[in-house]
Chains A and B, each alone.
Chain A
């Protein structure tokens, strides 16, 4: 099984990947200023079949530190990960709780399989909180070592509640069995500095650094609603910390509102069997089988080991799916400048880039040796994680930026400032279109020339936000709030802003064009947390393959895939190894799109870890419990019904004349064939209106079909029968909510 002959030569990046600006000078003084606020001891334990059977509760306001048992009911219904997060959050908040109330929690839970080192993509942590952007639960699936190290210290989840009166660090020492809340007055703020300093500070020696993971955010989270969390690991070969992001929905903003500067976990030395799985042999065999598949197939398939997720930039462009200029268009002549060959050459190839041990997909690429041109770290040499596809598309084409170094700099500052790259990309695209259409101008932006592709203005807007000043402060509120601010100031037509502001439920869209795929319009707007593609990515099945011709076909896909993909987050799996490589015989299976062999791998690894035997149908049933619970949680918070599942029209069809006319042939043909109206002799405005009417009707028919398939009422409320089927009727409040909403 050598590399196939089709393989292209690898371009080596000439940068020395061990060189970068270092920040640990002055660490002693920072450390000396720490003050112990609270301390507790615990007995470190390793998991038994994936579970430690206890969780850790910390109130940073009252400084209470407490262990809680994991009940059988928690495991039966919520499984772990995002399920545990939602359950803890449900118990912590009331319908009146908002993101910045002390009652709101941030829950980090790795899931029972997380920490497995043999199967690729088994080291994720799931983070849940009430989002400042959406006022409903947000969940994020993130790499880095924190979750596994937390579990190997002895906890299946960490609940953070309360608000501290000063900046604090929570330190969990899983080797010594000590938990400390420390005042941290002199800490650096931004993640690339803070995580490096804290890794060195809490490690007892050089070899101990790999046992440390830091969760932190940056200055952006202090002044915006779009803060994210960086989860670190020590990259021994590079000699620096690496970061993975729990990006969506403003979790970092909640973190800073609680005045948490960082979480530091020092876990035990990682070995192969720390989960104490029920059947290690099955895990070993399944893991090795997958590693071999990666070795044999990656180079002729997605080249994830070379390019990471950025491998699809040029592919999205080729299919008119690469969001360009705020999702107006799907391709651009300059895409080649931000395409995967550029990133392959720019990222270091001779190292190991998994975000947890044993990930042979190893997509966590790093571009080393970037010398920054702007901002507080101007002149510093840094390592930038990624860029992942979302960043290349959002910070790149969607904002009209096609210079790779500019894109890397934007990516770097998003990460270290602790803001979500996807959100920043989509909101920048929005303000740039507002600028194009005169809703914004130089005066209104305080001198920022936000024309398409002006990376310098984009960066300055970000630096302003991090400093808490100027137009950047407004941008950091996100599109939902910006629309209201602009309207209140009388700056633009609210209807136009509603159409082009790519947010739903208050969360910005991620970076795919859904205009030509009805199923994906639902895939985005019918999500629990807001429009992120991690529930369903159906564009090819629907638009290119034409495999989903009827509403029922689309509804089936919007039933199966969101549930299937939810399951990754219950267990601590990464989604990517599921379908960014496929077995050589995948094409001859009955359902290639589901990658049946990999589904079976997941069933096997789960069963072998927990000792709970499941099959692929039970997997979906496990997810359905949590998925429906989250829907009901949304309803409990005053959202979650049909009116919150309506997409901005930009995601459904052409809003403006330029948009229509740029793809006039396509739209005219559809008008003739699908709508049965002759476009001849009609003005563009008339044609836009006819198309819009048709597409929105179609969208509503899709919603009807999906709700029916999911066992929900026409208003999107899970029915009592569905709740009983899933065992959620065990919770009286769930039953009450459903009944009160006609379910």
Chain B
């Protein structure tokens, strides 16, 4: 189990930040992502593991009209 923006979510071995985004359908380009408080850069989404029990924050900025 992990927490994503306050919601409980399923965890699976080998899970990356990229997988979390895919699972939640988070497609917005302007994101600020933290895993257990540590900032993850966009280029590292695929390579950054999300450990079991992790607290993931996916902060969406704003854009548009």
- Give min CB distance, A76 to chain B, whole Å: 31
| Chain B nearest CB, measured from A171 CB (Å) | 33
A510 with B65: CB separation less than 8 A: yes
Is A269 an interface residue, CB under 8 A from the partner?
A: no
A165-192, CB under 8 A of B: which get 1 and which 0? Answer: 0000000000000000000000000000
Main secondary structure on chain B at its contact with chain A?
loop
Proximity string of chain A (385-428) to chain B, C-beta cutoff 8 Å, 1 when within and 0 when not: 00011100000000000000000000000000000000000000
Q: Any chain B CB within 8 A of the CB of A621?
A: no
Which has the most chain A C-beta neighbours within 10 Å: B32, B58, B60? B60
Interface stretch (choices B11-19, B23-31, B47-55) = B23-31
B62 in contact with A540 (CB, 8 Å):
yes
Contact A582 B61 (CB under 8 A): yes
On whether A300 and B42 interact (CB within 8 A), knowing A314-B27, A546-B6, the answer reads yes
Note all chain B residues with C-beta closer than 8 A to A311: 63-64
Q: Is there contact, CB below 8 Å, between A540 and B64?
A: no
* A547-B59, A587-B39 known; A389 vs B29 contact (CB < 8 Å): no
Question: B62 touching A541 by the CB < 8 A rule?
Answer: yes
Q: How far is the CA of A579 from the CA of B59 in the complex (A)?
A: 14
At the interface, yes or no: A69 with Cβ under 8 Å from chain B? no
Task: Give the contact stretch, choosing among A93-101, A588-596, A638-646, A697-705.
Answer: A588-596
**Number of A-B contacts defined by CB within 8 Å:** 76
A301 touches B64 (CB 8 A): no
B61 touches A533 (CB 8 A): no
Q: How far is the CB of B63 from chain A (nearest CB, A)?
A: 5
Alpha-carbon separation in the docked complex, A316 to B41 (Å):
23
Residue of A nearest to B29 (CB): A301
- Interface size of B by Cβ–Cβ distance < 8 Å? 23
Verify if A56 is at the interface (C-beta below 8 Å from B): no
Are A312 and B63 in touch, CB under 8 angstroms?
A: yes
List residues of chain B with CB within 8 A of the CB of A541.
60, 62
**Shortest Cβ distance from B26 into chain A, in angstroms?**
8
Taking CB atoms, residues of chain A closer than 8 Å to B60 are 540-541, 544-545
In the assembled complex, A33 has its CB within 8 A of some CB on chain B:
no
A544 in contact with B65 (CB, 8 Å): no
A302 in the interface, Cβ–Cβ < 8 Å?
Answer: yes
Does B64 lie within 8 Å of A580, measured CB to CB?
yes
> Judging by beta carbons under 8 Å apart, are B65 and A593 in contact?
no
Point out which of A302, A388, A534, A586 has the most chain B C-beta atoms below 10 A from its C-beta. A302
Interface flag for A442 (CB, 8 Å): no
Q: A312-B63, A540-B60 are in contact. Are A301 and B30 (CB under 8 A)?
A: yes
User: Would A318 and B25 count as touching, CB distance under 8 A?
Assistant: yes
B residues near A390, Cβ cutoff 8 Å: 65
Q: Which residues of A contact B61 (CB under 8 A)?
A: 540, 579, 582, 586, 592-593, 595
Does A117 sit within 8 A of B, measured CB to CB? Answer: no
Smallest Cβ distance from B42 to chain A, in angstroms?
7
In the bound complex, what is the Cα–Cα distance between A343 and B60 (angstroms)?
A: 24
A582 surroundings in chain B (CB, below 8 A) = 30, 61
CA distance A300 to B41 in the complex (A): 13
User: What residue of chain B has the Cβ atom nearest to residue A391's Cβ?
Assistant: B65
Complex contact A545–B65 (CB within 8 A): no
Residues of chain B at the chain A interface (Cβ within 8 Å): 5-7, 25-30, 32-33, 39, 41-42, 57-65
Residues of A within 8 A of B (CB): 300-302, 309, 311-312, 314-316, 318-319, 388-390, 510-511, 533-534, 537-538, 540-541, 544-547, 579-580, 582, 586-588, 592-593, 595
Other A-B pairs, 14, CB within 8 Å; known A388-B65, A545-B59, A582-B61: A300-B42, A302-B30, A311-B64, A315-B29, A538-B62, A540-B61, A541-B60, A541-B62, A545-B5, A546-B7, A547-B59, A586-B32, A592-B61, A593-B62
Closest 4 CB pairs of A and B: A540-B60, A587-B32, A546-B6, A312-B64
13 A-B pairs within 8 Å (CB atoms) are namely A301-B29, A302-B29, A302-B30, A309-B65, A315-B27, A318-B25, A318-B28, A319-B25, A319-B28, A540-B60, A545-B57, A545-B58, A582-B30
